[in-house]
């Protein structure tokens, strides 16, 4: 009988995580390394990814850093091209600016579309090109994990642009999955609920907001970055080898209502 736990390992695999300096991205980078992957951490802030990479190395893992703003397409493409071999992309970099629909400025609309959609698309494209360079790709396999949200499945007040971008990521995931399945590359989305991160901290600090969120999550708590990272490791691992085009909801039951 084969050891089922071995299918959750990522030994001899190379993973790239965008937005890896903090929050969900950082947790994903650490978790992938714990599962045996050699990890490349990409973010704008050198100090943050250097610290995370040092933590991985101190635990016996392999880590590299790439200081890059994913919205700088030439720099992002150059950084991805510099990775010798790539097996896993965690397409995580993203942002949100909650505000009423009628107050959304063109500047905010463009900013979210640029990062959450355009940069995510181009990062996935660069990663797919790198993966296809491997002459043994069909046997080796490859995985692109797009970071979506529960807001890619439902609507929400004051989050029209964010919902727009994450619904786009869900559609991108499905279309990419169909195109790359014959080539041995799987494409999945991870869709978290509200997670305690530096990005959500200001929202959670507002009077009554955290209570409002928790009351709408049947599991009774907001997510932690490690909850999402665990789903990412599963999605990237051979344990999920028959999964592609799917969205893994890590939402405590929010979208089941």
Q: What pLDDT does 226 receive? A: 98
Across the chain, mean pLDDT equals: 96
- Assess whether 8 carries a catalytic annotation: no
Active-site residue identified among 40, 162, 180, 194 = 162
Q: Is 257 inside a domain boundary?
A: no
Q: Is 256 inside a domain boundary?
A: no
Q: Is 105 inside a domain boundary?
A: yes
CB of 98 within 8 A of CB of 143?
A: no
Closest C-alpha among 149, 89, 83, 93 to residue 118: 93
203 falls in which pLDDT band (50, 70, 90)? confident
Q: Is 127 inside a domain boundary?
A: yes
CATH number for position 175:
3.40.50.720
pLDDT at 16 over 70: yes
pLDDT at 198 over 90: no
Share of the chain above pLDDT 70, in %: 99
Q: Is 30 inside a domain boundary?
A: yes
Work out the average pLDDT over 122-142: 90
What does the block give as tokens for 20?
A: 């890896």
pLDDT at 1 over 70: no
What does the block give as tokens for 70?
A: 């994913």
Number of domain units in the chain: 1
Q: Is 12 inside a domain boundary?
A: yes
Strands 247-250 and 14-18: unpaired
For residue 32, what are the domain limits? 4-250
Residues contacting 226, CB < 8 A, separation 6+: 27, 31
């Amino acid at each position: 009988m084969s050891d089922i736990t071995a299918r959750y390992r990522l030994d001899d695999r190379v993973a790239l995580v965008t937005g890896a300096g903090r929050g969900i991205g950082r947790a994903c980078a650490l978790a992938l390394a714990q599962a045996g992957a050699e990890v490349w951490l990409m973010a704008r802030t050198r100090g943050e990814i250097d610290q995370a990479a040092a933590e991985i190395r101190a635990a016996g893992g392999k880590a590299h850093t790439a200081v890059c703003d994913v919205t700088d397409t030439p720099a992002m493409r150059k950084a991805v091209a510099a990775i010798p071999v790539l097996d896993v992309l965690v397409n995580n970099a993203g942002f949100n600016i909650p505000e009423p629909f009628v107050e959304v400025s063109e500047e905010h609309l463009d900013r979210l579309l640029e990062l959450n959609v355009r940069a995510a698309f181009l990062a996935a494209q660069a990663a797919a090109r790198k993966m296809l360079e491997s002459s043994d790709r069909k046997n080796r396999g490859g995985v692109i994990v797009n970071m979506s949200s529960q807001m890619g499945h439902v609507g929400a007040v004051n989050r029209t642009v964010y919902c727009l971008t994450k619904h786009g990521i869900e559609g991108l995931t499905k279309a990419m999955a169909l195109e790359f399945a014959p080539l041995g590359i799987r494409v999945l989305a991870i869709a978290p609920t509200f997670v305690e991160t530096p990005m959500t901290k200001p929202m959670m600090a507002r009077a009554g907001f955290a209570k409002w969120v928790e009351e709408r999550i049947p599991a009774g708590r907001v997510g932690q970055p490690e909850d999402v990272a665990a789903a990412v490791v599963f999605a990237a691992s051979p344990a999920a080898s028959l999964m592609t085009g799917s969205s893994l909801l890590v939402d405590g039951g929010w979208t089941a209502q």
